[in-house]
Amino acid sequence: MFKNKVIRYSTFAMIIAILAYFIIENKNGSSSSDNAATAADPALYAGKISEERKTKDEQFRTGDDSPIADKAAFHGLHYFQPDLSFRVRATITPYTKDDREVTVKYTDGSSEKYQKYGYAHFELGGQQQKLLLLKNESTISVLFRDATSGKQTYGGGRYIDYPESGVKNNVMTLDFNKAYNPYCAYQESYACPVPPAENTLAVAVTAGEQLESAIHD
């Protein structure tokens, strides 16, 4: 997902996102009814999201793969408050045309091959929305921009990652509270995939990770 001069792929953020998915959806082998109860309880949900964010902060603070250059001064990432209205059910239309392979440009001018997995259809902000899902190995990536991009969030867009198993019967849960800034938002030596132009939402997705500059402006 991210690369620099030394590391071709840095999977840390993707791993964190996928682990977070399993924590919310499958924690301690909970049943689907338990998961539904968690998602319906704002306080319980917010607590789980908070724990995930603390774990990521610790990894950014101490991990060798962290994009934070000055770890001693790092005091944590910044986020919108958890909001269940940004956790939505999406219906997936699988991509079945022959041109499934797509070249995704990176911020350093390089590119990588992905597969068009399908389109996610969902409602957000009272409007019907559509996002192209991209597949790389066994990971489904949602690369998107929205009305907060370049203002409250990274201008290059944000990402959400899921294991392919997160799609069941062409339905998945898109949780924008898990949207994160790419590594290149913190260190320019990283190269990050650029969201497809069609993945630009007109609505403001005030969920997930923010920029520190937006907090202090």
Give the three-class secondary structure for 145: strand
Give whole-number Cα distances, 214 to 80, 102, 210, in Å. Answer: 11, 33, 7
Distance, C-alpha 193 to centroid of its chain: 12
**137: which residues sit within 8 A by CB, 6+ positions away?**
none
In this prediction, residue 39 carries a pLDDT of: 62
> How high is the pLDDT of residue 11?
44
The secondary element (H helix, E strand) that includes residue 88 is strand 87-94
Going from N- to C-terminal start, the domains of the chain cover 12-216
Convert 185-207 into a string of H (helix), E (strand) and C (coil): HCCCCCECECCCCCCECCCCCCC
- Local confidence pLDDT in tens for the 217 residues of the chain: 555 433 333 344 444 444 444 444 444 333 444 455 556 689 999 999 999 999 999 999 999 989 999 999 999 999 999 999 999 999 999 999 999 999 999 999 999 999 999 999 999 999 999 999 999 999 999 999 999 999 999 999 999 999 999 999 999 999 999 999 999 999 989 999 999 999 999 999 999 999 987 765 5
